[in-house]
Amino acid sequence: MQSKAIDQWTRELPVIAKRGVITDRNGLTLVSNADCYSVFVRARSVSNAEVVAKTLSKVLGVDYDSLYKKISAVSSSEITVKRRVEKAEIEKLSEYSLDGVYFAPDNTRYYPYGDMLSKVLGYVSSDGSGQTGIEKSYEEYLKGYNGEILYEADLIGKDLQGASAKYLPATNGLNVKLTIDYEIQRICDSVISKAYQKYTPKSASVLVLDPSNGQILALSEYPCYDLNDIPRDDIALLNKLSRCSLIVDSYEPGSTFKVLTAAANIEEYLKGNKNAFSLDYVFNSNRYRVVDGRKIKCWSTHAGGKHSNENLALALNNSCNPCFVDIALSLGKQKMYEYIKAFGYGNVTGVDFGGEAIGMLLPESTVKNGDVARIAFGQSIAVTPIQLACATASAINGGVYYEPYFVSEIYDEYGNLAQKILPKMVRRVVSEQTSKILAEYLEGVVSSGSGKQAYIEGYSVGGKTGTAQKFENGVLSQGKYVMSFVGFFPSKNPKYLALAIVDEPVGGQYGSTVAAPLVKEIFQGIINCKNL
């Protein structure tokens, strides 16, 4: 009863809560709030509607006729005149001392680095609520709760003479600290921007994470857009530019997937599985295999006996498809699918980001030998880039799969910690011994194999190349490729893993020549800025 009476005899104006800021792992502000205000009119407290409407129209640039009509309407109570008003305009408006006119702090998001992390940070709607990215995923924490200014009013809503106002303060939103490292992000943006200009691809992107805990250190995609100049009038363009393809899109990975097939063979061999090949086993040096009546060829012509006397380490070095076909068929469909699922394919990674895709994994019951053979070297399967990065990380970090994540801490405006997000170990996928052997093999790929354009003198870098022909309308598209490279360092105790992807580059031939140099440049930048 009392609350009803209060509602009948008071009128409210909102006190807008400040939205929480977003920082990088070191506290550098990536998203903040601009200093601006909202202007309101309480129509029943206005003594001269014409003067108020003219003054507001002059100072704020709003339409006079429309505003005058609203103020003059008998049914009008609180009218929002304009949001996101600059402080200078408020100071000018204050000089007029207009009765019935009020203003309150408002939220306008400001992104100090423009297009940096545009697909990760996301943007807010005109009313300040998160629409995409971290802004949306952590809306519950960032938004805060508005307060009110309560004015005593008479029955028709007019302020009572001599009455005092009651102030109910807003609860500001909580701040969010990301795992992103600004310095590494800056390096990635520079490298990927140059690659986009050089190869004019459909897109160029890179994901960097810490394989020892799943923290995402950088994510860069081009083309992108300036978060301070969002193309809201072109929804199709905005949706395209704000789409974080490394998380929400899938692609056929090609030879980067061979890391899984190699890991499965090593693990099963160490377990004593007779269907696995020994580490010294020499594979048949023929350039092709026939599976279900169809030839599966190696990308190389094997000229000059290039792939002769090839064990697993050399098969990785040369990225020889037939060797991985042999492994998959020998282990069998059931065993291969056990590892595919253990490494996270066919399911989401659980990253704290909306819209994550699951990729495309054929139902095991429908898979034939030809499918298993192609899956072994990254065909007949579609994965998300973040799936591939996490799977590779678990293969070389000691054998543990970690859930990837962007946010490490949530805290209030006074620095009080509300929540700390710790690394989440999901499962063990292979033994430490398997992981160690595989990391050594992949270091060989960079030092002397197909990934040598990622080699850095004096540093132990491992990695795997990938060049996948694209499918369009169910058939291979001639001349259209996705080129990639996944690399990590130091190879014996990896702290950085980077997956670079260039979609349909013009003038590039292989992942080894297009994507591997990008990872090398990123790692060199990290080495320099971290004084490693």
> Buried b / exposed e across 57-87, counting CB within 10 Å, b at 16+?
bebbeeeeeebbebbeeeebebbebbbebee
Q: Return the active site residues.
A: 255
Locus of tokens 């104006």: 13
Strand pairing class (216-222; 10-15): unpaired
Q: What is the C-alpha separation between 438 and 107, in angstroms, rounded?
A: 51
Q: What is the C-alpha separation between 439 and 433, in angstroms, rounded?
A: 10
Q: What is the C-alpha separation between 118 and 31, in angstroms, rounded?
A: 11
Quick one: tokens of 270?
A: 């160490």
* Among the listed residues 136, 92, 84, the one whose alpha carbon sits nearest the alpha carbon of residue 110: 84
Quick one: tokens of 431?
A: 């033994």
384 with 207: CB under 8 angstroms?
no
Burial class (CB in 10 A: 0-12, 13-18, 19+), 295: exposed
Tell me the CA distances in angstroms from 10 to 4, 149, 171, one per residue in order. 10, 10, 21
239 with 227: CB under 8 angstroms?
no
Q: How far is CA 423 from the centre of its chain?
A: 17
Query: How large is the angle between the packed helices 432-448 and 385-396, nearest 10 degrees?
Result: 110
206 with 191: CB under 8 angstroms?
yes
Helix (H) or strand (E) holding 287: none
DSSP annotation of 172:
P
Residues near 468 by beta carbon (within 8 Å), at least 6 away in sequence: 251, 252, 253, 254, 255, 378, 379, 481, 482, 483, 484
- Secondary structure string (H, E, C) spanning 81-147: EEEEEEHHHHHHHHCCCCCCEEEEEECCEECCCCCCCHHHHCCECCCCCECCHHHHHCHHHHCCECE
Tell me the CA distances in angstroms from 159 to 8, 43, 103, 149, 154, one per residue in order. 13, 10, 16, 13, 6
Residues near 532 by beta carbon (within 8 Å), at least 6 away in sequence: 526
Query: Strand, coil or helix: what is 368?
Result: coil
* Among the listed residues 178, 195, 207, 192, the one whose alpha carbon sits nearest the alpha carbon of residue 383: 207
